[in-house]
Amino acid sequence: MPNRSKQREKAHPKNLMGTARRVLGYLADTKRKKALLILVFFLVILGAGSTVTATFLLTPAINLGIIPMVGNPNPNLTTFITIVVIMGIVYAIGAASTWTYNFIMIHLSAEALFKIREDLFNHMEELPLVYFDTTSDGDIMSRYTNDVDTLREALSMALPQIFSASLTIIGTFTMMLVLSWHLTILVIFMLILMVFVVRYVGSRSHKNFSLQQKQLGKVNGYIEEMISGQKVVKVFNHEPQVKADFNVLNENLREAATKANTYGNILMPIMGNLSYVQFAICAGFGGVLIINGLLSIGAIASFLQYSRNFSQPIIQVSQLINTLLSALAGAERIFNLIDEKPEEDDGFVTLVNVVEDENGNFEEVDYTSFDWAWKIPQEDGSYKYNRILGDVRFNDVSFSYDGKRQVLKDISLFAEPGQKIALVGSTGAGKTTITNLLNRFYEIDEGEIIYDGVNIKDIKKEDLRKSLAMVLQDTHLFTGTVRDNIRYGNLEATDEMIEAAANLAHATHFINQLPDGFDTVITGDGANLSQGQRQLLAIARAAVANPPVLILDEATSSIDTMTEKYIEKGMDALMADRTVFVIAHRLSTVRNSNAIMVMDHGEIIERGNHDQLMDQHGRYYELQTGQLELE
């Protein structure tokens, strides 16, 4: 957990303007959206202009409509009613404009967030495994939930309102100058004070909202880990320590949220009280100007309303700035993931279906022929086809995950087509690492891996992995039917192929006992299935893929001895005519291997078949006779 937290803290850009431009780019990435944004711009101007214009109409309404009626027994209401009707029309235009641009922004923001989530997910799928090794699931999930939600609020509400309020401020200030420059000077002094307060509080608000988002990611990550590991927590009675650790993270979040919301919430009361002070000063000084004949009653009424309108949008902007800053902090985290370096793939050799003619030449076909070949470009523009047989060779391969401590040291091994190669050794010996390198989940530091005469660095990763199938110790099942989970190994598999694969894995018996058989919906990673049943489905998934190379990483570790014997024939059928790499703690499962590699601290210390290794009386012999146990 600490390592993942450090990883999150280290990657946090603070380029607000760059982030804002990038967000706006999602709002206007098509001509239609640009046209709608221009329309929104026009409507915001119209709405803000209506507010300013309607307020200015107070001056003629009082001076020309109300004052002439004072003391008049037969007042003429025509002028007053006309001005009131005009004010009503202006307000109606402003209301319609505001409703329309808010409606448009809701749709534009929804489309923008759709594209952001799409880019976020698509790029996440392109990231190397090392990113997921160093970043918690909860931290990644918080970008889809908390960060996207704050961004939605900012785009659909805060952004247009800030723009509208800013235009209202400019229009109001202009009209105040027209009505009375004397009173405007007073307002300017108050404005300077307000701007200072906004900048002071706003800068601290952004800092703490960024910290709040970061701490929220940590809390979410920890909660998700505890949910998935709840059984382990209870087995080891670790509840008190888990609670204590959560309380520390929760306290950090509380402290960050308190500071963020403290700065966010004090801004409105401060600005509100400053606006009241400004109103009182303007009213008092305005009365003096009226007495001296420098200002009319109607003008002072409009000016006072303008002064209120001038303060209100500033208060509004000060509130919305918190939302906007929080959204930008979340957007930075989103773009930080999108900007992560994707998994590199410079391969040019592809996997294709072929048929062989009478002369032994290969012809590429566009249907599943169940005969595969590597399509290798030649310098003259032609292609060479190497049939996939499953010949795998490691030549002096060295590797380290962190660039410091070597996990594999000068590993050399070979697996000829159809051979079963077993990897035996203690935990951390490097067995799983070998299979990870064969899939190019990680890149080797030194040496080379040759697959049917082709360096795997030259093979496109998608094609390389399509030629391999893995049955992992930790089986992951997806939400969907049993049939869908088996078909995950080959999306083109027919129902007949799926049922045949289930038979091969000896999974049909328990599948037929499920409520809806193959159509039973699996949820919660197959929580309603036993670990052995989940692994049987994983074996069936590998079987339906029908690959030339099969990797079994502790594939039967969660299956009891009786079940293991029951599926032994099915596993033999699955491994027939395939190159198989087997990682196993149960030495009984590797006796019939063509070659057994005994590994220790990243090196192969013994190799040979079962009989040869027993004759050597070395590490394998000690393991088989019980003189030594695998750790």
Please give the mean pLDDT across all residues of the chain: 83
* 557: confidence class by pLDDT, cuts 50, 70, 90: low
- Which tokens go with 624? 């088989």
3-state SS of 310-366 is HHHHHHHHHHHHHHHHHHHHHHHHHHHHHCCCCCCCCCCEEEEEEEECCCCCEEEEC
Q: What's the whole-number mean pLDDT along residues 310-319?
A: 72
> Which pLDDT score, from 0 to 100, does residue 622 have?
84
Please tell me the predicted confidence (pLDDT) of residue 499.
92
Residue 135, pLDDT > 80, answer yes
Average pLDDT over residues 427-444: 88
Q: Does residue 219 register a pLDDT over 80?
A: yes
Task: Evaluate whether 313 touches 166 at the Cβ level (below 8 Å).
Answer: yes
Residues 539, 238: Cα–Cα separation, whole Å: 34
User: What's the confidence (pLDDT) of residue 162?
Assistant: 84
Q: Which of 112-121, 221-230, 329-338 has the lowest mean pLDDT?
A: 221-230
Inform me whether the pLDDT recorded for 92 exceeds 90: yes
Q: How far apart, in whole angstroms, are the C-alpha atoms of residue 124 and residue 133? A: 13
Q: Which region holds residue 608: left if phi is over 0, alpha if psi is between -120 and 50, else beta?
A: left
What number of CA atoms fall less than 13 Å from residue 475's CA on the CB side? 30
Dist CA 330 CA 571 (whole Å): 49
Which of the four pLDDT bands, split at 50, 70 and 90, describes residue 377? very high
List the domains of the chain with CATH numbers: 2-338 (1.20.1560.10), 350-387 (no CATH), 392-624 (3.40.50.300)
pLDDT at 314: 72
Query: Can you read off the two tokens belonging to residue 575?
Result: 């491994």
* Helices 31-56 and 297-338, axial angle in degrees (round to 10): 160
Is residue 574 within a helix (H) or strand (E), and if so which, with residue range? Answer: helix 561-575
DSSP string covering 426-464: STTSSHHHHHHHHTTSS--SEEEEEETTEEGGGB-HHHH
- Per-residue pLDDT reduced to its tens digit, 592-613: 888 999 998 889 999 998 999 9
Window from 45-54, 319-328, 454-463 with minimum mean pLDDT: 319-328
187-201, 388-402, 422-436, 556-570: lowest mean pLDDT where?
Answer: 556-570
- Structure confidence at residue 196 as a pLDDT band (50, 70, 90): confident
pLDDT of res. 483: 93
Maximum Cα interatomic distance, the chain, rounded to a whole number of Å:
127
Distance CA 424, CA 600 (A): 9
Q: Please give the Cα distance from 567 to 537 (Å, whole number).
A: 12
pLDDT at residue 560, as a whole number: 63
Query: Residue 270: its pLDDT value, please?
Result: 76
Q: How far apart are the first and last CA of the chain?
A: 24
Cα separations in angstroms, 133 against 291, 350, 402 = 77, 28, 12
d(CA 551, CA 571): 12
What is the pLDDT at residue 315?
Answer: 67
> What pLDDT is attached to residue 567?
59
pLDDT of residue 5: 36
What is the per-residue pLDDT across 386-433, written as a single tens digit (0 to 9) for each?
A: 989 899 999 999 999 887 888 999 999 999 998 899 998 887 888 889
Task: Please compute Rg for the chain using Cα positions.
Answer: 36
